[in-house]
């Protein structure tokens, strides 16, 4: 003997447990939207830290820093306790006016990048040039760098 049930007989069981079945999915959606909300604040903050390349050659340490739109007077370079610091302030304003729209964008803020110099660098002979928005700092080495190999002893 075969028993046939109508589809309506299944609905009350599904409807009663639907909240339980979809609760984990709802929690995951809530978590994702909460994280997305936190992410908007991060997108609003503008990173003013300039990009920097450091090249270690036989004779010098060469540092290139991208500083588009900045003049030499906007940048300061200091060396203290074997730490070279490049700092300054960005003051950027762009404005475009067309027939249908008006666009204005500003970026203001201070930046600072620091590099620990090797002991072989002669701080008194560091030179810097700036051309086309790229700062180039050359820190010559005096050739007195010493390499020492240290043997690892077994622990007691």
Q: Is the pLDDT of residue 13 over 70?
A: no
Q: Is the pLDDT of residue 45 over 60?
A: no
Residue 21 vs residues 8, 9, 11, 40, 109: alpha-carbon distances, Å:
19, 18, 14, 31, 51
Please tell me the predicted confidence (pLDDT) of residue 101. Answer: 65
Q: Determine the straight-line distance between the first and last CA of the chain, rounded to whole angstroms.
A: 81
- For residue range 88-120, list pLDDT tens digits in order: 987 766 666 776 766 666 667 788 999 999 888
* CATH T-level topology, domain 52-140: Immunoglobulin-like (2.60.40)
Whether the predicted model's global pTM rises above the 0.75 cut: no
For the sheet with 75-80, list strands across it: 75-80, 83-97, 102-116
DSSP assignment, residue 100?
Answer: S
Domain edges within the chain: 9-44, 52-140
Name the pLDDT band for 55 (thresholds 50, 70, 90). Answer: very high
Please tell me the predicted confidence (pLDDT) of residue 131. Answer: 92
Question: How far apart are alpha carbons 152 and 75 in whole angstroms?
Answer: 45
Average pLDDT, the chain: 78
């Amino acid at each position: 003997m075969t028993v046939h049930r109508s589809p309506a007989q299944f609905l009350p069981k599904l409807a009663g447990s639907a909240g339980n079945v979809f609760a984990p999915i709802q929690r995951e959606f809530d978590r994702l939207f909460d994280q997305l909300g936190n992410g908007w604040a991060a997108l609003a903050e503008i990173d003013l830290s300039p990009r920097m390349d450091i090249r270690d050659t036989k004779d010098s340490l060469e540092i290139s820093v991208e500083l588009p739109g900045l003049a030499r007077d906007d940048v300061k370079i200091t060396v203290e306790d074997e730490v070279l610091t490049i700092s300054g302030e960005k003051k950027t304003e762009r404005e475009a006016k067309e027939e249908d729209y008006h666009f204005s964008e500003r970026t203001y803020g201070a930046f600072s990048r620091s590099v620990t110099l090797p002991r072989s660098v002669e701080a008194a002979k560091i030179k810097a040039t700036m051309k086309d928005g790229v700062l180039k700092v050359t820190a010559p080495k005096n050739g007195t760098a010493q390499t020492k190999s240290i043997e690892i002893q077994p622990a007691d």
